[in-house]
Each structure stands twice: as structure tokens, then as C-alpha cells.
């Protein structure tokens, strides 16, 4: 029989949050395809990815566990993850407007905002793993 440690029990599962964000991005892309065509779909995809990629970074960086002064380092990890997410978001926006200017800014920003709004559902989408 396998023993389950407390840290394994306490890990949160963020897959549902990211799947919800992806689903909303795809929904906006489908609406963009129906409404305006291919250029709007690309704009919606870029806007959605600008929201999704920094979120992935935040979870990867913010949930790493450190040994030693664990509480202080975990708080520091969260601050570093938040600052990294902010910096990455700014950099991706700048990159998107320079390299791939959105041909349909409405769908670009709608996809970004809809993916960001999925964070409001985090308490329902992110839950602790069941204990075996």
C-alpha cells in the first residue's frame, strides 16, 4: 500500500482552470470565425494566448515547494510568480502589437478578457485532489 504525504494531498489541480480558459478561447475563436472570418480568429487566438501563457507561468512558478524556511520562501515564490506573470503579460502584449498587429482588436481583447474572467471561477475549478 502506498503512503500519501500531506504535501501530495494538499496539491491543487489547475488543469480544470486551464481547460476552462482554453474552452473560452476556442468559443471566442468560433464566434470570430462565424462573425468576421480568419483574421478575427487569429486575433482571438493571440489575445487568448496572452492571457493563458502568463497564467501557466504563474502556476508553475508559484506552486513550487521549497525546503528550509518554507513559509517565507513560498510567499517569496508567489510574489516572484505574480511579478513574472505581470512582466510576461506586458512583454506578450508588446510582442503581439509589434509582430502580429491584431486585425480585429475587438476579438483580440474579448478573448483576453474572457480568459482572464475564468479566474473568477477558480474556487470551483481548482480543488484539492482526492485522497487515495
DSSP-assigned letters across all residues of 19-65: HHHHHHHHHHHHHHHHHT-HHHHHHHHHHHHHHHHHHHHHHHHHT--
Res 89: pLDDT: 93
Res 85: pLDDT: 92
Tens-level pLDDT at each residue, the chain (132 residues): 455 454 544 456 677 778 888 888 899 899 988 988 888 899 999 999 999 999 989 888 877 665 555 666 777 888 888 999 999 999 999 998 888 777 788 888 999 999 888 888 777 666 655 555
Res 9: pLDDT: 43
DSSP-assigned letters across all residues of 7-25: HHHH-EE-HHHHHHHHHHH
**Contact predicate 127/14, CB 8 Å:** no
Amino acid at each position: 500500500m502506498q503512503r500519501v504525504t500531506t504535501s501530495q494531498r494538499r496539491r491543487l489541480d489547475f488543469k480544470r482552470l486551464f481547460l476552462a480558459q482554453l474552452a473560452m478561447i476556442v468559443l471566442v475563436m468560433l464566434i470570430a470565425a462565424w462573425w468576421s472570418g480568419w483574421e478575427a480568429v487569429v486575433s482571438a487566438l493571440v489575445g487568448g494566448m496572452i492571457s493563458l501563457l502568463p497564467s501557466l507561468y504563474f502556476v508553475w512558478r508559484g506552486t513550487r515547494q521549497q525546503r528550509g524556511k518554507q513559509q517565507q520562501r513560498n510567499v517569496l515564490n508567489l510574489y516572484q510568480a505574480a511579478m513574472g506573470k505581470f512582466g510576461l503579460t506586458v512583454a506578450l502584449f508588446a510582442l503581439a502589437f509589434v509582430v502580429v498587429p491584431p486585425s480585429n482588436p475587438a476579438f483580440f481583447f474579448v478573448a483576453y478578457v474572457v480568459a482572464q474572467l475564468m479566474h473568477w471561477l477558480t474556487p470551483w475549478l481548482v480543488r484539492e485532489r482526492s485522497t487515495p
